[in-house]
C-alpha cells in the first residue's frame, strides 16, 4: 500500500465514487485529520494544509500534537501466557516488558526471513 507522508505523518487515500474525488485520512493517531483532492497535486496540497492547520491549532490551544507509533500499546493475552512470560522474566531477573520486547523482535526477525 502506498501512503502519502508529510512531517512524519502518514496518510491513506481512497476514492469516493459518491463525491467523485479522493479522500485522505492521517493514520496512527486518535485525532482526525482528513483532506481531499481531485488530483495528486490537490491531494498533496490538502495533506500539507491539513497537517499544518492541525499543528497550528495544537500550538494555539497548548495541546501536544499526537504522533504515530509512540512505542506504547496495550496487549491482551491469556492468563497462562501472562504467567509464563512473568516467570521467564523472573528467571532472567529482568522485566516483563523486556521479555515481551525480545519475543516481538524474534517474531519480526522470523517474519522478515519468511518474506524473502
Can you tell me which residue has the cell 492541525? 54
Report the pLDDT value the prediction gives residue 72, as an integer from 0 to 100: 76
Q: Which fold has domain 4-61?
A: Double Stranded RNA Binding Domain (3.30.160)
Instruction: Print pLDDT tens along the chain (116 aa).
Output: 679 999 999 999 999 899 889 999 999 999 999 999 999 999 999 999 999 999 999 999 999 999 887 777 788 999 999 999 999 999 999 999 899 989 999 999 888 888 76
- Domain definitions of the chain by residue range: 4-61, 79-115
Which secondary-structure segment (H or E) carries 60? helix 40-61
Indicate the angle between helix axes 96-115 and 79-92, nearest 10 degrees: 110
Report the pLDDT value the prediction gives residue 116, as an integer from 0 to 100: 66
Report the pLDDT value the prediction gives residue 89, as an integer from 0 to 100: 92
Report the pLDDT value the prediction gives residue 12, as an integer from 0 to 100: 95
Strands across the sheet containing 9-16: 4-6, 9-16, 21-26, 34-37
Q: How far apart are CA 27 and CA 68, in angstroms?
A: 7
Amino acid at each position: 500500500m502506498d501512503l502519502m507522508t508529510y512531517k512524519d505523518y502518514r496518510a491513506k487515500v481512497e476514492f469516493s465514487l459518491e463525491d467523485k474525488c479522493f479522500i485522505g485520512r492521517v493514520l496512527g493517531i486518535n485525532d482526525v485529520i482528513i483532506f481531499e483532492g481531485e488530483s495528486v497535486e490537490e491531494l498533496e496540497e490538502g495533506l500539507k494544509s491539513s497537517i499544518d492547520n492541525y499543528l497550528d491549532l495544537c500550538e494555539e490551544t497548548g495541546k501536544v500534537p499526537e504522533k504515530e507509533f509512540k512505542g506504547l500499546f496495550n496487549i491482551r493475552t491469556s492468563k497462562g501466557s501472562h504467567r509464563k512470560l512473568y516467570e521467564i522474566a523472573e528467571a532472567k531477573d529482568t522485566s516483563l516488558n523486556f521479555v515481551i520486547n525480545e519475543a516481538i523482535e524474534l517474531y519480526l526477525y522470523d517474519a522478515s526471513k519468511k518474506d524473502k
